Amino acid sequence: MGNYQMNANGSYSFLPIVLAIILLAGSAVTLAGAGPVYAASAPYTPHFATLKSDEVHVRKGPGRKYDILWTYRSLGLPLEVTAKHEHWRRVRDSTGAEGWVYFRLLSALRMGLISPWKKQKITISIFEKASAASTVVVRLEPGVKVLIKSCSGAWCIVSVGGFKGWIEQAKLWGVYPGEIFE
C-alpha cells in the first residue's frame, strides 16, 4: 500500500505507509461551484479572500499613487482583509506582511494554506472523516494551497489535486479558529 504526499510546489512523491489510500469522490479540484462565502467587498472586516489573478501588486497605501511594495504571483492565495478604504483593501498574508490591493483583484473563494508556519520537513494528514482516527486520504507538506469547501468550527473539508477530505481547522491558514461555514 502507499500514500501520496503533495509538496508545496504541487508535485507528488510516493511514500510507503501502512494506511490504504482512499480516493474520495471528485477527480479534480474545481474552483467553480465551490460557492463564495464572503464577498471580497464584504461590509465587515476582518475576513478572508483570495487572489483572483496570478499577478497582483501590493501597494504602500490605498491608491495607485502609492508605491508598489511587492507583487504576489499566486492565483488563489488566501489573504486576510484587515481594512477598507474606498475601492482598496488592506490585506495580510500568512507571513504577516501587509499592504493594499485593489478590491476587484480579490475573490470570495475560500482557499487555505496547510500549516504555513511549520518550517520543518513534516506532512499534515487529510482524513476520510472528521477524525484523526479515520483513514488518511493524502499527506500534504506545509504551504500547500487547498480549496476550503466548508468548516464545522473544528474540522474543514478541503480538496486539492483530485483528493478530498477533512483537516483539523487549526492546521489551516485562511479560516478563523471556530469559524463555521458551508
Q: What pTM value is reported for the model?
A: 0.77
- Which regions of the chain carry the CATH code 2.30.30.40? 2-32+112-174, 47-109
pLDDT, residue 26, reads: 27
Comparing CA positions, the residue from 12, 37, 13 lying closest to residue 148 is 37
Tell me what pLDDT residue 63 has: 98
Given CATH 1.10.357.10, say whether it is the number of domain 47-109: no
Q: What is the pLDDT of residue 96?
A: 97
pLDDT along the chain (182 residues), means of 10: 50 34 26 40 82 97 98 98 97 98 97 92 95 97 97 98 97 96 92
Architecture of domain 2-32+112-174: Roll (2.30)
Q: What was the pLDDT predicted at 2?
A: 40
